[in-house]
Structure 1
Amino acid sequence: MAVGKLTFTKVEREKLAEFLWLLNWISVLTGAILFGLGLFLKVEIQKRQEVMSEQGILYVPHMLITTGLVACAINFMGGKICLDCTDTNKFLRWKMVMMPYVVCTLVFTACVLAGAVMCYSISSQLEEALFLGLRNAMRYYKDTDTPGRCYLKKTLDLLQIQFQCCGNSGYRDWFQVQWVSSRYLDMTNSSVRDRLRSNVDRKYLMDGVPFSCCSTASPRPCIQQRLSDRSAHFNFDRQSQQLNLWRRGCRPALMEHYTQILQSIGLTVLLIWLFELLVLTGVRYLQTAMENVLRLGDPDSESEGWILENSLAETARSNFNIIKNLGKCYQADDEDPNLNIPSAATERELPSRCAHTPETS
Structure 2
Amino acid sequence: MAVGKVTFTKAEREKLAEVLWLLNWISVVTGVTLFGLGVFLKIEIQKWQEVMSEQGILDVPHMLIATGLAACCINFLGGKICLDCADTNKFLRWKMMMMPYVVCTFFFTSCILVGALMCYSIRGQLEESLFLGLRNAMRYYKDTHIPGRCYLKRTLDQLQIQFHCCGNTGYQDWFHVQWISNRYLDMTSSAVVDRLRSNVEGKYLMDGVPFSCCSTFSPRPCIQQQVSNSSAHFNYNLHSQQLNLWRRGCQQALVDHYTSIMQSIGLTVLLVWLFELMVLTGVRYLQTAMVNVLLLGDPDSESNGWILENSLVETAWSNFNIIKNLGKCYQTDDDPNINIPTAAAEQEIPAKQVQIDMTR
Q: Would you call these one fold, judging by a TM-score over 0.5?
A: yes
Q: What CA distance in whole angstroms lies between the structure 2 residues aligned with 1:224 and 1:207? A: 8
Aligned to 2:347: none
Aligned to 1:197: 197
**1:335 offset after TM fit, Å?**
12
Q: Deviations over 1:144-178 (max 9, x none)?
A: 11111111111111110000100000000000000
Q: Which runs of 4+ in 1 moved over 3 A?
A: 331-338
Percent identical across equivalent pairs? 79
> Helix, strand or coil for the counterpart of 2:241?
helix
**1:336 offset after TM fit, Å?**
11
- For the pair 1:171 / 2:171, whether they are aligned, the reply is yes
Aligned to 1:85: 85
Q: What CA distance in whole angstroms lies between the structure 2 residues aligned with 1:142 and 1:334? A: 80
Aligned to 1:225: 225
**Which stretch of the first structure deviates more once superposed, 114-123 or 233-242?**
233-242
Asked if 1 retains the 8 angstrom alpha-carbon contact of 2:164 and 2:213, the reply is yes
> Helix, strand or coil for the counterpart of 1:244?
coil
Q: Which amino acid aligns with 2:192?
A: V
| Number of aligned residues | 337
Aligned to 2:152: 152
Q: What CA distance in whole angstroms lies between the structure 2 residues aligned with 1:247 and 1:335? A: 83
> Helix, strand or coil for the counterpart of 2:168?
coil
**Could you state the TM-score of these two structures normalised by the residue count of structure 1?**
0.90
Aligned to 2:68: 68
**1:238 offset after TM fit, Å?**
4.5
Asked if 2 retains the 8 angstrom alpha-carbon contact of 1:130 and 1:251, the reply is yes
Q: What CA distance in whole angstroms lies between the structure 2 residues aligned with 1:262 and 1:98? A: 35
Aligned to 1:280: 280
**1:228 offset after TM fit, Å?**
1.1
**1:322 offset after TM fit, Å?**
1.9
**1:203 offset after TM fit, Å?**
0.4
**Could you state the TM-score of these two structures normalised by the residue count of structure 2?**
0.91
Q: What CA distance in whole angstroms lies between the structure 2 residues aligned with 1:221 and 1:101? A: 67
- For the pair 1:311 / 2:301, whether they are aligned, the reply is no
> Helix, strand or coil for the counterpart of 2:304?
strand
Q: What CA distance in whole angstroms lies between the structure 1 residues aligned with 2:215 and 2:332? A: 80
Asked if 1 retains the 8 angstrom alpha-carbon contact of 2:227 and 2:238, the reply is no
Asked if 2 retains the 8 angstrom alpha-carbon contact of 1:31 and 1:70, the reply is yes
Q: What CA distance in whole angstroms lies between the structure 2 residues aligned with 1:133 and 1:107? A: 35
Q: Return 5+ residue gaps in structure 1 as ranges.
A: 339-361
Q: What CA distance in whole angstroms lies between the structure 2 residues aligned with 1:58 and 1:215? A: 32
Q: What CA distance in whole angstroms lies between the structure 2 residues aligned with 1:264 and 1:196? A: 49
Q: What CA distance in whole angstroms lies between the structure 1 residues aligned with 2:267 and 2:331? A: 54
**1:326 offset after TM fit, Å?**
2.9
Aligned to 2:264: 264
Q: What CA distance in whole angstroms lies between the structure 2 residues aligned with 1:70 and 1:335? A: 51
Q: Return 5+ residue gaps in structure 2 as ranges.
A: 337-360
Distance 1:129 1:76, change over 3 A: same
Q: Where do residues 212-251 of structure 1 align in structure 2 (5 Å cutoff)?
A: 212-238=212-238, 240-251=240-251
Q: What CA distance in whole angstroms lies between the structure 2 residues aligned with 1:183 and 1:127? A: 34
**1:240 offset after TM fit, Å?**
4.8
